[in-house]
Amino acid sequence: MQNNPNNLATFLYIDTAGEKAMVAICKDNVVLAIELNVTANSHASFVQVAIDKMVKQLGISLQAMDAIVVTMGPGSYTGLRVGLASAKGIAYAINKPLIGVSTLALLAKHAVNHIDLVQTEKDIQIFSMIDAKRMEVFGAIYKTDLSVILPEQAIILDLAYLTKLLENGPVLCIGNGATKTSQLFSTSQLYCIDAQYDISDFMQLALEKWAKQQFENTAYSSPSYLKEFHQGPTKTTK
C-alpha cells in the first residue's frame, strides 16, 4: 500500500468513544464536512447515515479517502465497538490504511493546544482522564511534548495517589473525570478542567501518524477497553 505523506491527505474521521459521536471528512487540517450526534446510545444508527450524507454533500466517493481515522478508546464499550467496526469495514472495502488514535492522547493534545497553563508551566504533568464511574478513571499521564509518563490504565483516584503524583510537579487533570478529582482536595499545584478534544486535535494526531505511516492492522486491531465489560444480570420473568 503506497502513499506519499507529503501530499495533501483526505481522511474520514469516526469518533464514537463518548456520549457524543462525530464523523468528518477533512483534507489535511481543513474540515470539508462534519456531522455530530448528541443522542446517547444511538451511534450505531448514526455513523453510516452521516457518512453517506457527507460524501453526497461533497460529491466524492469513499474511495477518494486516503485513510480512515478512528478513536481506539478508552471510552464507551459499545461506542468503541461501533466506531472501530465501521472504520475497519470501510478501510478494508476501499483498501486504505486505518489510523487509530487514543482518546487520552487526544485530551492531552487539546490541553497543549488550548490551555495557556500548559505553555507557562513547562514541567506540568497532563493527566488525561475519562470517567469510569465511582472514583475510577481511565487515565494516562503525559509531558507537554506528549511523551508518556504513565501509560493508559484504569486508575482508582484517592488522596494518596494524587499526593504522590504531585511530588513530581504540578498536575493538570483534563477530561470528564476531572470534576471528581477536584472533589478530593484542593492545592495550587492541581488544576482540573472538564474539557473535551475537538476535530482540530483529532486532525493533528492523525496527520502525525500518517506522516510516520503508523497504521493499525485492519484485520486484528481491537479497541482499548482497559478493563473488561461486565453486564448486569438479566431480568427474568416468571
- What are the beta bridge partners of residue 154? 138
Q: Is the pTM of this model over 0.95?
A: no
C-alpha distances (whole Å) from 10 to each of 26, 65, 71, 86 are 6, 5, 17, 18
| Average pLDDT of the chain to the nearest whole number | 91
The C-alpha atoms of residue 15 and residue 151 are separated, in whole angstroms, by: 21
74 upstream amide cis, omega within 30 of 0: yes
pLDDT of residue 228: 62
Distance of CA 83 to the CA centre of its chain: 11
Q: Does the CA dihedral 141-82-40-132 come out positive or negative?
A: negative
196: Cβ contacts below 8 Å, ≥ 6 apart = 18, 107, 110, 175, 176
**C-alpha cell, 146:** 506528549
Residue 231 has pLDDT above 50, yes or no: no
- Evaluate if residue 82 carries a pLDDT over 90: yes
Average pLDDT, stretch 112-127?
91
Domains of the chain: 10-102+197-212 (3.30.420.40), 116-193 (3.30.420)
Does the pLDDT of residue 237 top 70, yes or no?
no
The residue-averaged pLDDT of 3-14 equals 78
Judged by DSSP in three states, 133 sits in coil
The three three-digit cell numbers of residue 231, written as one number: 453486564
More confident residue, 68 or 117: 68
Which of 5-14, 208-217, 225-234 holds the top average pLDDT?
Answer: 208-217
pLDDT tens by residue, 10-59 = 999 999 999 999 999 999 999 999 999 998 789 999 999 999 999 999 99
